[in-house]
């Protein structure tokens, strides 16, 4: 493993590094839980160049910021920090759960939210939770301009994002939904074999907002490892809106599960068969209402 590295300390230096270094050999590094493996396996003619974000101190990249409009998480926020943040625990519990299922304790202290999104794995744990939360990506360009993009548009394919070569992910923003007396119901269900250090074979992230009468007012649902990207399952979510959670019976649960599965296009690989993924996605979707 051989690579060059630039370590910008300010956003200005970062923008300059982005402007000066573009091309297939450039990688952006933050927590390195994935990038080290990638660099080890690379068989390229050119020596890779890593723009290392680890020393960046700009709070826009490193902080979790809560405003009336919503919660903004810097791309360098680690999974470990997500788990212990009080506002995320109360307002975005699905994200908290997903972050706690990622890798192992050691990895969670290193792995960043930005890294999990930019790796664009269809199995990304944090990605699934953020898609369910309809997060928006805030992308900084070498010329200093900022653009925003829905996370579902950011994730374009297996290990492919909408980032241009002169761009870097700065933060994600989750807008606050205005509702009264809301009560959240959420979970991140990760199916794999081991209890840690596992990549999801199937995952399901959901966060429902219920009103005082237990009526589902909003349902954000995302599925992982069953399509080229993490997918937002809008139809199944809309199906739930207006229904009283506790009165969703077997028939509606089956219909819901079928609607979730309709969005899945799983493949067979060394971890599981397509049949298995579809079967399990159905079972765990349905299982939401068993409680």
Partner 1 sequence: MSKQVNLSVGIQDNLREITVEIPDEAPRPWDGTDKLKYIGGRVSRVDGQEKTTGRAKFSSDIQLPGMLYARFLRSPQPAAVVKSIDISKAESAPGVKAILLVQEKLPMIVRFVGQEILAVAAETRQQADDALKLIEVVYRERPFVTKTDEARRADSPVVFEQAVEEKKSEGDLPGAAATAGQNGNVRGPQIRPKGGAPDKVDAALAGSDAVVEATYRTQVQTHSAMETHGVVAQWQDLNHLTVWASTQGTFTVRDELAEVFEMPKSQIRVLTKHMGGGFGAKFGAGIYGVMAAKLARQANAPVRLMLDRKEEHLCVGNRPDSTQKLKVGANSDGKLTALKLLAYGTAGVGTGAGVSGPARNIYEIEHIYSEESDVFTNAGPGAAFRAPGHPQGAFALEQAIDELAYKLKIDPLAFRKTNTSKNEIRQVQYKLAAAKANWAKRNSRPAADSGPIKRGMGVANSVWYYFYGTGFQASIQVNSDGSVEPTNGVQDIGGGITTIIAMVVAEELGLKPTDIRVTIGDSDLGFGPASGGSQTTAGITPAVRDAAYRARMRMFDIAAPLLGVSAEQLRADEGRIFAKEDKNKSLTWKQVASKMPGDKFTIVGERFKDHIQTKPRTIAGVQVAEVEVDTETGVVRVERVVAVHDCGRPLDRLTLESQINGGIIQGISYALFEDRILDRNTGIMVNANLEQYKIAGSLDVPKIESVILDVNHGQSSTGAIGIGEPATVPTAAAIANAVFHATGARVRELPMTPDRVLSALEYKEGGTS
Residues 229-288 that bind partner 1 (CB under 8 A): 270-273, 276, 279-280, 283-284, 287
| Residue count (the chain) | 291
From the CB of 160, what's the least distance to partner 1, in Å? 21
- Does residue 291 belong to the site contacting partner 1 (CB under 8 A)? no
Q: Which is nearer to partner 1, 190 or 218 (CB)?
A: 190
Q: Which is nearer to partner 1, 43 or 178 (CB)?
A: 43
- Whether the Cβ atoms of residue 60 and residue 171 lie closer than 8 Å to each other: yes
Which is it for strands 49-52 and 26-29: parallel, antiparallel or unpaired?
Answer: parallel
User: Which tokens go with 78?
Assistant: 């680690």
Q: Which is nearer to partner 1, 56 or 272 (CB)?
A: 272
From the CB of 142, what's the least distance to partner 1, in Å? 32
From the CB of 107, what's the least distance to partner 1, in Å? 11
- Does residue 194 belong to the site contacting partner 1 (CB under 8 A)? yes
CA distances from 57 to 36, 62, 81 (A): 22, 7, 15
b/e sequence 50-80, b meaning 16+ C-beta within 10 Å: bbbbeebebebbbebebeeebbbbbbbbbbb
Residues 92-151 that bind partner 1 (CB under 8 A): 104
User: Which tokens go with 70?
Assistant: 């919503």
Q: Which is nearer to partner 1, 105 or 164 (CB)?
A: 105
Closest C-alpha to 172, from 60, 90, 269: 60
Binding residue for partner 1, selected from 193, 212, 213, 251, defined by CB under 8 A: 193
- Whether the Cβ atoms of residue 51 and residue 27 lie closer than 8 Å to each other: yes
How far is Cα 152 from Cα 184, in angstroms, rounded to an integer? 22
How far is Cα 268 from Cα 206, in angstroms, rounded to an integer? 24
Binding residue for partner 1, selected from 201, 223, 233, 240, defined by CB under 8 A: 201
From the CB of 95, what's the least distance to partner 1, in Å? 22
Binding residue for partner 1, selected from 18, 75, 191, 216, defined by CB under 8 A: 191
What lies within 8 Å, CB to CB, of 62 at 6+ separation is 56, 74, 76, 77
- Does residue 44 belong to the site contacting partner 1 (CB under 8 A)? no
Instruction: Select from 53-61, 193-201, 203-211, 237-245 the region that touches partner 1 (CB under 8 A).
Output: 193-201
CA distances from 139 to 13, 246, 275 (A): 16, 40, 37
Q: Which is nearer to partner 1, 20 or 196 (CB)?
A: 196
Closest C-alpha to 133, from 86, 70, 40: 70
Q: Which is nearer to partner 1, 106 or 165 (CB)?
A: 106
Binding residue for partner 1, selected from 37, 69, 158, 235, defined by CB under 8 A: 37
From the CB of 145, what's the least distance to partner 1, in Å? 38
Binding site for partner 1 (CB under 8 A): 1-2, 37, 104, 191-199, 201-202, 270-273, 276, 279-280, 283-284, 287, 290
């Amino acid at each position: 493993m051989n690579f060059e590295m630039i370590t910008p300390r300010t956003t200005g230096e970062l923008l300059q590094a982005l402007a000066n270094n573009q091309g297939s050999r450039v990688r952006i590094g933050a927590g390195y839980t994935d990038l080290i493996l990638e660099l080890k396996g690379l068989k390229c003619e050119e020596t890779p160049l890593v723009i290392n974000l680890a020393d960046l101190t700009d709070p826009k990249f490193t902080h979790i910021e809560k405003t009336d409009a919503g919660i903004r998480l810097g791309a360098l926020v680690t999974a470990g920090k997500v788990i212990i943040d009080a506002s995320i625990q109360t307002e975005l519990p699905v994200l908290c759960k997903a972050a706690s299922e990622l890798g192992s304790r050691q990895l969670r202290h290193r792995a960043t939210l930005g890294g999990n999104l930019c790796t664009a794995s269809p199995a990304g744990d944090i990605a699934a939770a953020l898609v369910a939360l309809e997060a928006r990506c805030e992308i900084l360009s070498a010329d200093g301009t900022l653009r925003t993009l829905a996370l579902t548009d950011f994730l374009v394919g297996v290990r492919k994002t909408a980032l241009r070569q002169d761009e870097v992910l700065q933060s994600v923003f989750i807008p606050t939904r205005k509702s009264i007396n809301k009560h959240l119901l959420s979970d991140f269900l990760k199916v794999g074999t081991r209890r840690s250090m596992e990549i999801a074979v199937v995952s399901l992230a959901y966060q429902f907002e219920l009103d005082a009468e237990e009526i589902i007012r909003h349902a954000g649902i995302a599925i992982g490892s069953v399509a080229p990207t993490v997918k937002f399952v809008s139809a199944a979510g809309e199906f739930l809106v207006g229904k009283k959670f506790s009165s969703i019976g077997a028939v509606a649960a089956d219909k819901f599960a079928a609607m979730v599965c309709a969005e899945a296009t799983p493949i067979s690989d060394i971890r599981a068969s397509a049949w298995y993924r579809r079967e399990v996605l159905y079972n765990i979707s349905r299982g939401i209402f068993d409680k």
